[in-house]
Chain A
Amino acid sequence: MRATRRVTTESPGMASRLDGAVALDDVVRRAQSGDVAAFETLYRAHAPAIYLLCHRMTRDEREARELTQDAFVRAWERLPSFRGDSAIGTWLHRLAVNVVLNRFRADRRRELTSLTDDLPAPRTAGSNLGADDRIDLDAAIGQLPNGARTVFVLHDLCGYSHDEIADMTGIAAGTARAQLWRARRALLSILAP
């Protein structure tokens, strides 16, 4: 029944400072050969998207900064193994997701599989908030339980398929799908009761 919903993993303009695939290939190759200045160019092009991903997954500025740093240090270490099978941005994004998920795995409190975490209380009609002062979507995402938020960010904001999410997180694809439906319903209740 389902077709794949594919979205870009980066926001427009974030990587556009690098003009063209040839220039980007050139920068990647220089970085692979140990050129720190070239790696810095890659960093400046992709770091905003990576930081945004880390922040959306963790909802914590300090942790998002740490994870962004970890992701790029690992990217530097693993760059020689980058074969160009995907865009460098996609490769970095996937690497960053793994860095965040590894952090989650190290912290047992951040269980991804639980479907019984408490959802945020829906806003009531008496909360006196109209359409103009609706809660920001990012803030609403931040109220989601960890498992639902992770799947939501990976699927709806990053464009990974349920199978890819299952592969990355170790949860079943069906569980990922259920978490996504749950996350969207929770967002609906938070944003527009």
Chain B
Amino acid sequence: MTNPSANHLSEDERQCAADGTLDAVSRARVDAHLGECRECAADVARLTALMNRIDDKRLSGSAATLAPVVEGLWPEIRRQIESTKVVALDSDETAARRWRLRVDPWVIGVAASVAAITALTVIQIVPRVVGSVAATGASAVAADSTLRFANDSVESYREEADRLMDDLQLQRAQLSPAAREAIDDDLKTVDLAIAELQAAVAHDPRNPALRAMLASSYRQKVDVLKKIPNAS
């Protein structure tokens, strides 16, 4: 690759010499040339200095300075993630009746979906999961792990829902009768779905898919409860 007309290194050779990507054979030849050619040596030295500076830049990850930036991005990411699962509710609505009109179809839809999915799961997924788990020891370990995570999610959302229910008891007096009625109806629907899934889990306690759906239902209850301050 050496330029025969000028006996200087080619651009490829200079760049690769600077960034250390020459193979052993080429390196020996290039090093020999650099020992004799001041012009090429100076150019490679400049490029090498640049590469060192680039290496410093690459390794100087400023996690601390970027932390506030990325911290501010998470709420929107979470919102988008959640919106893939849950229809977002309008947060600035004040009329209980309007709040109810928007929430009801969603809650009813969730309940219907959960019921349908539960039925399908019991019929189709359960035998596969049980069969898979029984098939190999490794599968059993993986299933145990998945089951544990799903259970953790159930407990996490259930605890949050319980805490929000406690808060609701304190807030009830401040809600209008219409709002209370609407909220009670919505919670009743979600609780019905939760009860159905709890029954399904009791029937098949080692089915991680059922537990994941139960966790999802608790999360939806949490979402409903978090919207209540906006309905008063």
The interface of chain A, by Cβ under 8 A from chain B, is: 1-5, 7, 10-14, 29-30, 33-37, 39-40, 43-44, 47-49, 51-52, 65, 68-69, 72-73, 76-77, 137-138, 156-157, 177, 180-181, 184, 187-188, 191-192
Contact = CB atoms under 8 A, between A and B. Distances in A.
Contact of B61 (A11, A29, A36, A44): A11
A51 B20 contact: no
B73 interface: yes
Interface of B: 1, 11-13, 15-16, 18-23, 26, 46-47, 49-51, 53-55, 57-63, 66-67, 69-70, 72-74, 76-78, 80-82, 84, 145-146, 149-150, 152-153, 156, 208, 212, 215-216
Contact of A69 (B11, B13, B26, B77): B77
Given A1-B26, A35-B152, A77 B84 contact: yes
Given A12-B61, A184-B15, A73 B53 contact: no
Instruction: Name the residue among A13, A29, A52, A138 with the largest chain B CB count within 10 angstroms.
Output: A52
B46 A5 contact: no
A35 B154 CA distance: 10
Q: Which of A1, A3, A40 has the most CB of B within 10 A?
A: A1
Contacts of A65: 69, 72-73
B16 A1 contact: yes
Contacts of A49: 61
Nearest to A191: B50
Name the residue among A33, A36, A47, A52 with the largest chain B CB count within 10 angstroms.
Answer: A33
Given A47-B70, A68-B73, A188-B50, 10 more contacts: A1-B22, A7-B58, A11-B61, A14-B61, A33-B150, A43-B70, A43-B74, A73-B80, A77-B84, A177-B12
B70 A48 contact: yes
A34 B153 contact: yes
Contact of A39 (B21, B26, B57, B81): B81
Given A12-B61, A35-B153, A157-B57, A192 B74 contact: no
B61 A76 contact: no
B78 A33 contact: no
B70 A44 contact: yes
B11 A181 contact: yes
Q: Interface centre among B1, B20, B54, B216, by most A CB within 10 Å? A: B54
B57 A137 contact: yes
B12 A1 contact: yes
Contact of A33 (B62, B73, B153): B153
A2 B12 CA distance: 9
Identify the interface centre among B13, B21, B55, B84: most chain A CB within 10 Å of its CB.
B21
Query: Interface centre among A7, A36, A51, A191, by most B CB within 10 Å?
Result: A36
Contact of A34 (B11, B19, B72, B215): B215
B113 to A, nearest CB: 15
For the complex of A and B, list the 3 residue pairs with the smallest distance between their C-beta atoms, beginning with the closest.
A11-B61, A47-B70, A48-B66
8 contacts: A2-B16, A2-B21, A4-B21, A33-B212, A47-B73, A52-B66, A76-B84, A137-B57
A13 B84 contact: no
A192 B148 CA distance: 58
Which residue, A11, A49, A180, has most C-beta atoms of chain B within 10 A?
A11
Contact of A37 (B80, B156, B208): B156
Nearest to B212: A34
Given A65-B73, A76-B81, A33 B146 contact: yes
A5 B20 contact: yes
B166 to A, nearest CB: 21
A34 B46 CA distance: 51
Contacts of B50: 184, 187-188, 191
